[in-house]
């Protein structure tokens, strides 16, 4: 679908990403507009909106729910009200930032989230950009021999690098995760090559934050191939770069993109709020 009547769509790069105009996502949008936004997401993998105001979390959640059920992230759930809303904050002096390594979100879950909607409450004048990489292209540009080798292979994902007692992330950054003694690791094995449930296209589905090894192989045995795939999956020609402004929104398809938050401004605050949408079994 490329004949959009309700929205405007301006691609950011050949590989991935487009800015959407002509719509206020804080409003109660009609079904036709929501359908066009979804089609733009499926075509461009990540879409961006400028000059929006969904500071009211109920408006943010209402827009999200037009695309699926809200997901509660276990490592950001401290028992607070509105546990579906995650706040990602960087303060001057933070030594670390959430998401500063290439990844897809929360892939240790049995059903990883299908998408995320991130809103900039406060963006710095420079820096703090986000990169996105097209995982269809990452798969499609592999050799036939590599595709054959990866077919049927699964990778083991867990969250031991991003939460849990003794990790020490909370001492280095403003964005907090569960590090309490009651935390338990979540682990799942997913196909390395995923077939998108809506487009039917194949893409790589692994990332350096959550994946630890291939199912049936040791960490040491898995490392050489994993490192090649990590490097390959975020080649520059597969990517776009988004510069945030206060009021900007990014909506990405977690099933077929990876992203990376650039931690390059250590002087200014960056405050974001995010929802995620429940996903399905990886096939």
Residues designated catalytic: 103, 105, 259, 274
Contacts of 75 by beta carbon, 8 Å cutoff, 6+ apart:
159, 162, 163, 177, 178, 183
Q: What is the DSSP string of the chain?
A: ----SSSEEEESSSSS-EEEES--TTS---HHHHHHHHHHHHHHSEEEE-S----SHHHHHHHHHTSS-B---GGG-SS-SSTT-EEEEE-TT-S--TT-S-B-TTTTSSS--SEEEEEEEE--SS---EEEEEHHHHHHTS-HHHHHHHTT-EEEEE-TTTSSTT--GGGT-SS----STT----EEEEESEEE-TTT--EEE---TTTEEEETTS-HHHHHHHHHHHHHHHT-GGGEEEE---TT-EEEEETTTEEEEE-----SS-EEEEEEEE------
């Amino acid at each position: 679908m490329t004949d959009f009547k309700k929205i405007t769509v301006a691609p950011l790069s050949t590989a991935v990403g487009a800015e959407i105009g002509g719509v206020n996502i804080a409003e109660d949008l009609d079904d036709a507009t929501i359908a066009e936004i979804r089609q733009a997401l499926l075509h461009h993998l990540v879409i961006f909106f400028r000059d929006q105001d969904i500071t009211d979390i109920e408006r943010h959640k209402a827009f999200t729910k037009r695309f699926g059920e809200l997901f509660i992230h276990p490592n950001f759930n401290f028992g607070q009200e509105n546990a579906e809303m995650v706040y990602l904050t960087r303060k001057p002096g933070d030594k670390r930032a959430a998401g500063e390594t290439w990844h897809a979100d929360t892939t240790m879950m049995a059903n990883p989230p299908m998408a995320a909607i991130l809103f900039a409450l406060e963006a710095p004048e420079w820096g703090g950009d986000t990169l996105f990489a097209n995982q269809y292209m990452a798969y499609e540009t592999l050799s036939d021999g590599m595709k054959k080798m990866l077919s049927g292979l699964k990778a083991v994902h867990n969250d031991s690098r991003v939460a849990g007692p003794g990790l020490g992330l909370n001492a280095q950054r403003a964005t907090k995760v569960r590090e309490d003694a009651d935390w338990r690791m979540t682990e799942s094995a997913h196909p390395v090559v995923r077939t998108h449930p809506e487009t039917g296209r194949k893409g790589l589905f692994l990332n350096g934050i959550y994946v630890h090894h291939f199912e049936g192989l040791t960490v040491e045995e898995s490392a050489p191939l994993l490192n090649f795939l990590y490097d390959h999956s975020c080649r520059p020609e597969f990517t776009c770069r988004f510069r945030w402004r206060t009021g900007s929104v990014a909506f990405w398809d977690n099933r077929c993109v990876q992203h990376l938050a650039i931690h390059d401004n250590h002087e200014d605050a960056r405050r974001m709020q995010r929802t995620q949408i429940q996903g399905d079994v990886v096939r």
